[in-house]
């Protein structure tokens, strides 16, 4: 079943009706279980293809049950490593001998996100960070939550458990906001994403036909710059969509995006892009690395550089998680390297300028604009190893040439610096325009319920009209492949 789609909405609406027929916890757990399993089975009706997925869930649950509450530390480590290796084996990472792989096709959709939930349950269970024992029904519903199975977000069990026993109330206003997010999310994917992807494909197609250097530079800059914007609308649109759907089941999913292109450095960017992934890795990779590193540091002056190493390892894993090929290894190097260099720059700049001088520099509007442009450019360039392969990258580079590549990157930097600064200025201006029926409760017109309702209605009309005219499916969710 494709998410998002009218079929998925119909499926979710029917499930929500049954879910609200009773407020009994067991009833709602049973409806969620049936919904989650039906959604999973929609990707494959073959029991053999589903068996490895089921086996992975069983390994995770048994590991949690055997080691929860701090029991058997050695077994905990062994089971944690085994779970990681089984995941890599099922995902067919290249460092594992191919002769050991299962000889038949099996379901992989959502396994990467299930992996994070399973590891979280094992670790937090062993550390006694989960108050109540997790029953098998809650475990299956949590790991296979149909609203976040395909592409996240990655929710903590503690948060899910609270909503399972005490669902978030759904008032008429809440329902309206949930519908608004569904509409906005679907528009982002099916209209904005489709247009951006078409523009990027057009830039790729015309790159090889350009005669002038200026034309090739323009196409190269466009194919680099458009993809991160497409990826944002594609992925954040999916998050908006499932966030709205989940609210009808009393589930408030964590946010995954917070205006990432407004970030003034690469460190901040990764705290606002795919937030639940970076937070998971910070919790279970970065923090333990920092604690281990600081415990071995005898000179306090070296402590900040431990963070540089920790950030590199953490965000290298962010990149590596996305795929099994050498392109994703390099993607991981560029993500970890970008964050580590950013942290190193902050340390050196603060030492050279002093904290007050560095704060003054960071508040300079020109510096802020340039920092945003550099952050966007770095991310856009690194995404080449995310959406293409070495052969395509080599073709792009040879077509544009060395000088053209530099000019294209410079064009992306300048364009991003100017456009993002203008966007932030316009947003601040619009948010200052406020109104209210009640003089004591003014609110920005941009965020008013009336304007949002009118905007959502317009988006529905545009989306339906375009889909009817084009009769073409929305672009697939990019993160579905992970």
Taking only the tens place, the pLDDT of each residue in 314-329 is: 999 988 888 878 899 9
What is the C-alpha to C-alpha distance for residues 219 and 393, in angstroms, rounded to an integer? 14
**Predicted confidence band at 467 (pLDDT cuts at 50, 70, 90)?**
confident
- The 3-class SS string of 326-383 reads HHHHHHHHHHHHHHHHHHHHHHHHHHHHHHHHHHHHHCCHHHHHHHHHHHHHHHHHHC
Give CA 77 to chain center in angstroms. 28
E strand or H helix at 28? helix 25-41
Q: Which residues contact 371 (CB under 8 A, 6 or more apart)?
A: 264, 265, 362
Average pLDDT of the residues in 104-129: 94
Q: Across residues 218-231, what is the average pLDDT?
A: 96
Residues 61-102 have pLDDT tens digits of: 999 999 999 999 999 999 999 999 999 999 998 888 989 999
Confidence at 452, pLDDT banded by 50, 70, 90: confident
pLDDT at res. 230: 96
Q: Which residue in 360, 362, 321 sits closest to 342, CA to CA?
A: 362
Beta bridge partners of 434: 444
- Nearest C-alpha neighbor of 280 from the set 424, 197, 159, 192: 159
Higher per-residue confidence, 32 vs 326:
32
pTM, entire model: 0.93
Closest C-alpha among 409, 424, 475 to residue 217: 409
At residue 148 the predicted structure's pLDDT band, cuts being 50, 70 and 90, is: very high
**Under 8 Å between Cβ of 420 and 373:** yes
Strands (E), 158-248: none
Judge whether residue 440 has pLDDT over 70. no
- The b-or-e profile of 90-99 (16+ CB within 10 A means b, else e) is bbeeeeeeee
Q: Identify the burial level of 252 via C-beta atoms within 10 angstroms of its C-beta, where 0-12 means exposed, 13-18 middle and 19 or more buried.
A: middle
Separation between Cα atoms, residue 442 and residue 434, nearest integer Å = 6
What distance in Å separates the CA atoms of residue 249 and residue 28, rounded to the nearest whole number? 9
Which residue in 269, 274, 282 sits closest to 377, CA to CA?
269
DSSP output for 102-167: -SS----TTHHHHHHHHHHHHHHHHTT-SSSPPPHHHHHHHHT-TTTTTT-----HHHHHHHHHSP
Does residue 261 have a pLDDT over 80? Answer: yes
Which residues sit opposite 474 in a β-bridge? none
Torsion over CA: 64, 110, 43, 254 (sign) = positive
More confident residue, 142 or 4: 142
pLDDT at 346: 94
pLDDT value, residue 437: 59
Q: Taking all residues of the chain, what is their mean pLDDT, rounded to a whole number?
A: 91
Q: Does residue 305 contact residue 347 with C-beta atoms inside 8 Å? A: yes
Compute the average pLDDT of residues 410-419.
97
Residue 231 burial by Cβ neighbours in a 10 Å radius (0-12, 13-18, 19+): buried
What gap in Å lies between CA 160 and CA 141, rounded to an integer?
A: 10
Dihedral pair phi/psi, residue 107, rounded to 5°: -70, 130
Q: Kindly report the backbone phi and psi dihedral angles of residue 385, in degrees, each rounded to the nearest multiple of 5, phi listed first.
A: -80, -5
pLDDT confidence tier of residue 456, bands split at 50, 70 and 90: confident
């Amino acid at each position: 079943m494709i998410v998002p789609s009218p079929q998925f909405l119909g499926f979710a609406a029917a499930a929500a009706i049954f879910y609200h027929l009773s407020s009994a916890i067991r009833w709602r757990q049973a409806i969620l279980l049936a919904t989650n399993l039906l959604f999973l089975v929609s990707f494959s009706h073959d029991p053999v293809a589903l068996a490895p997925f089921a086996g992975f869930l069983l390994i995770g649950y048994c590991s949690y049950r055997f080691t929860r509450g701090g029991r058997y530390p050695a077994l905990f480590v062994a089971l944690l490593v085994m779970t990681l290796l089984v995941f890599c084996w099922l995902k067919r990472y290249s460092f594992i001998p191919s002769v050991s792989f299962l000889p038949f096709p099996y379901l992989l959709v959502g396994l990467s996100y299930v992996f994070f939930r399973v590891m979280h349950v094992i670790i937090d269970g062993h550390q006694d960070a989960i108050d109540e024992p997790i029953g098998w029904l809650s475990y299956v519903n949590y790991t296979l939550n149909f609203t976040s199975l395909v592409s996240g977000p990655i929710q903590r069990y503690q948060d899910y458990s609270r909503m399972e026993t005490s669902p978030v109330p759904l008032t008429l206003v809440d329902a309206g906001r949930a519908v608004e997010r569904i509409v906005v999310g679907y528009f982002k994917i099916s209209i904005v994403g489709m247009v951006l992807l078409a523009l990027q494909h057009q830039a790729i197609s015309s790159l090889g036909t350009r005669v002038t250097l200026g034309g090739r530079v323009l196409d190269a800059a466009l194919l680099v710059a458009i993809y991160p914007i497409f990826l944002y609308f594609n992925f954040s649109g999916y998050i908006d969509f499932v966030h709205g759907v989940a609210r009808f089941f009393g589930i408030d999913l964590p946010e995954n995006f917070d205006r990432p292109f407004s970030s003034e450095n690469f460190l901040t960017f990764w705290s606002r892009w795919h937030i639940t992934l970076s937070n998971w890795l910070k919790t279970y990779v970065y923090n333990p690395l920092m604690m281990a590193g600081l415990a071995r540091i005898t000179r306090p002056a070296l402590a900040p550089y431990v963070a540089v190493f920790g950030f590199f390892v953490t965000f290298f894993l962010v990149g590596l998680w996305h795929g099994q090929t050498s392109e994703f290894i390099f993607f991981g190097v560029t993500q970890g390297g970008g964050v580590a260099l950013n942290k190193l720059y902050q340390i050196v700049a603060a030492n050279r300028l002093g904290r007050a001088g560095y704060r003054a520099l960071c508040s300079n509007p020109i510096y802020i604009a340039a920092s945003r442009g550099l952050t966007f450019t770095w991310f856009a360039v690194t995404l080449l190893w995310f959406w293409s392969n070495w052969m395509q990258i080599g073709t792009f580079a040879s077509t544009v040439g060395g000088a053209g590549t530099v000019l294209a990157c410079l064009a992306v930097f300048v364009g991003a610096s100017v456009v993002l600064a203008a966007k932030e200025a316009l947003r601040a201006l619009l948010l200052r325009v406020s109104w209210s029926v009640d003089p004591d409760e003014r609110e920005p017109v941009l965020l008013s319920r009336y304007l949002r309702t009118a905007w959502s209605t317009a988006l529905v009309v545009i989306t339906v009209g375009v889909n009817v005219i084009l009769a073409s499916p929305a672009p697939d969710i990019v993160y579905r492949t992970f």
